[in-house]
Structures are given as C-alpha cells and as structure tokens.
Amino acid sequence: MLNEFFEGGNNMKEISPELARHKRLLENKDALPSMYINDISKLFGHLMSRDCDSEGLSIGYRRMFRILCEQDGITQVELAKRAKLSTPSVSTALGKMEQDGLVRRETDMNDRRKVFVYITEKGREQDEFIRSRCHRLDDIMMRGISEEDKARLNTVLRQILVNMLEEGDN
C-alpha cells in the first residue's frame, strides 16, 4: 500500500483533517528520521487518547497507573515526583480518580501530611485496558513488517535513544 502511495496509486483510506498533516509527511521525500519519529509519537498519542476517551478514561492517568501498579501504596508526593507532575496536579487528578473508584488514598496516622495512594481493582482493570490498547497500536505499527526488520528497527531505535541520552548528558 505504501509503495502504491509513492507511485501515485494512493489507495489509503480517507483520514480526518487532524491527521492530514501526518499523511502529508509521507509525500515529503526530504523528510528526516526525526520528523517520522515525532509524527509517529504524536499519532500514537492521538490514537491512545481517542481509545481512552471512548471508554471515558483520561489518558493522563496512564503514567500514574503504571507507577502505582509497580509500587502500590506510595505517597502522593512520591507519585508526583515519579510522574514528573506537580503535586497540586496529582492531587486534583487523584481526587477525580478516587471519585471514579480507580484509587483510594489513606492518610498516615503518625504524620497527617503524608497521604498514601493505592490502586483499586477497577484501576488495575483500566490500566490493563490502556496496556492492551498500547499493544494493539504496536501491532498496527508493525503490520506488514518482517520479524527481521522489527528486530533491526528496535536496534536502530535503541541506538537513537542512546545517542540522544548521551547528548542530554553533555
């Protein structure tokens, strides 16, 4: 299908206007790898948000779910630090999550300033929903790509990440 796109026989299904910019990148023969990486990342986020919105779930909860699934019962302040979010933002989100039955908070009886956060079973189910959507999008991204090319792609992307991390340290 992609070869047909470049040869002028575009049979890609029509996409919404907000996705048109991403489609135009396919027409740019001078596009750089960073442009593809950026657009793929944005498109992944857009599709994840769409899927989560359809379930009435905020994609913003994803990072907090992941952290709580790894270390349930951490303090609200620690959750904010690990999520790289402000404490007030986390507090507001946790209030909504608690109201929706996704988390519960408990105040430390010895130090009332400390609030511990626990993910509920419903929260774990929502986390699993998000994870399943990520896997589904990975499958879509890798459609039509050989196992050998997938392995090579992972190697190349890993090296790109190493290069960028090294640059970030300079």
Q: What CA–CA distance (Å, rounded) separates 60 from 49?
A: 9
Looking at the predicted structure, is the pLDDT value of residue 155 above 50? yes
Angle between helices 121-141 and 62-70 (to 10 degrees): 110
CA distances from 41 to 22, 24, 27 (A): 11, 16, 18
149 compared with 19, residue with greater pLDDT? 149
Please write the tens of the pLDDT for every residue from 19-72. Answer: 777 788 888 889 999 999 999 999 999 899 888 888 888 877 888 999 999 999
CATH number for domain 1-8+20-26+34-143, candidates 3.20.20.80, 1.10.10.10, 3.90.480.10, 3.90.1640.30:
1.10.10.10
Confidence label for 169 from pLDDT (cuts 50, 70 and 90): confident
